[in-house]
Amino acid sequence: MQTRDEVLDAALRCLIADPTASLGEVAGAIGIGRATLHRHFASREALLHEIGQRALDRWERGQAEADMAGATHSGDAAVIEACLRRMLATFVRDAEDFSYALTDPCMVVMPDLLARMSALQELEVAFFAAAQEAGVLRRDVPAAWLSHTTYGLLIASRDALQAGDVARRGLADLVVSTFLQGVAGR
């Protein structure tokens, strides 16, 4: 018997491969019966809600592991940059889980997920504003844009991993350098 977490992990892998998969297709891909899947999740919406909650848990945990709040309040450029590097590396580690949930429409149509996502993004935007103030990040773009850019890189990470275009091992460094130095020729 698979645990709820194992079912969620397998369902997520299935939905990453085919975001339109029905519950029957998800159950088949997991290797369980549809009735077993329904014992865990009453509907596809309930499954997507749980996947969204887990992604938001990971986002919140990534912010905490990097001590984003402490770095924001420190105002210290070195502390902020170190936090930014840790945070991006943590987010890349969870990119596949993160980016699926953050690109799925359920995140914006389920009010509790949207509210929680907005609150986490607000904290992140405050961090990026502190990084701008400390001179770690450029000041000529809105701090909210930096948050959107982060998630764009995470989606690109997920897609590049799936396509086999990048190795998982060096991906965090690639994302950090792309975020901090861009892609312009030097």
Domain that holds residue 105: 52-181
CA 38 to chain centre: 26
Total domains in the chain come to 2
| Alpha carbon distance 44, 112 (integer Å) | 17
Tens-place pLDDT, residues 96-146: 777 677 777 878 888 999 999 999 999 999 999 999 999 999 999 999 999
Q: What percent of the chain has pLDDT over 70?
A: 98
Kindly state whether residues 64 and 20 are assigned to the same domain: no
| Alpha carbon distance 118, 74 (integer Å) | 23
Mean pLDDT of the chain: 90
pLDDT at position 186 is 65
Kindly state whether residues 6 and 81 are assigned to the same domain: no
Whether the pTM exceeds 0.85: the reply is yes
pLDDT at position 1 is 54
Kindly state whether residues 87 and 137 are assigned to the same domain: yes
Residue 51 near residue 8, CB atoms below 8 Å: yes
Q: Would residue 186 count as lying in a domain?
A: no
Scored b (16 or more CB within 10 A) or e, 16-39 reads beeeebebeebbebbebeeeebee
Q: Would residue 168 count as lying in a domain?
A: yes
Look-up of token digits 């865990």: 40
CATH code (residue 107): 1.10.357
Which amino acid is it at 110? M
